[in-house]
Amino acid sequence: MKGIKVGDKISKYPIIQGGMGVGVSMHKLAGTVAKEGGIGVISTADIGYKEENFNKNPLEADKTAIKKEIEMARKIARKRWHNRSKHHGCSK
């Protein structure tokens, strides 16, 4: 099975975990899927609901939360992508 190319990265498996509503597809699920060789998706539907300012400014809360979720997912997935990149002669 061929992986899926995204930019200069190639997943190990041709699997994309779909985004699932508020609070389900967050950094842990998406990062773990990526770590195991698929492509993880973070759902952004009201993603900022846990942020302090969500009721007053949901757009800003969502922006803050997505940045946090992406960074945490990358930390989980990083080992898989770095290991594959090293084997393919890439530095990323």
**Domain assignment present for 15:** yes
- 23: confidence class by pLDDT, cuts 50, 70, 90: confident
In a domain, 92, yes or no: no
Does the structure show a pLDDT above 70 at 82? no
What pLDDT score does 21 carry? 84
Number of domains within the chain: 1
Name the pLDDT band for 87 (thresholds 50, 70, 90).
Answer: very low
In a domain, 26, yes or no: yes
Does the residue 34 lie in any domain? yes
pLDDT tens digits, 5-20: 999 989 999 999 988 8
Residue 41 lies in a domain: yes
The string of DSSP codes covering 24-69 is HSSHHHHHHHHHTTSB-----TTGGGGSTTTTT-HHHHHHHHHHHH
Residue-range definition of the domain harbouring residue 49? 5-87
Residue 29 lies in a domain: yes
* Residue percentage of the chain with pLDDT more than 90: 74
Residues in the chain: 92
Residue 38 belongs to a domain: yes
Residue 14 has a pLDDT of: 95
- Residues of the chain with pLDDT > 70: what percent? 85
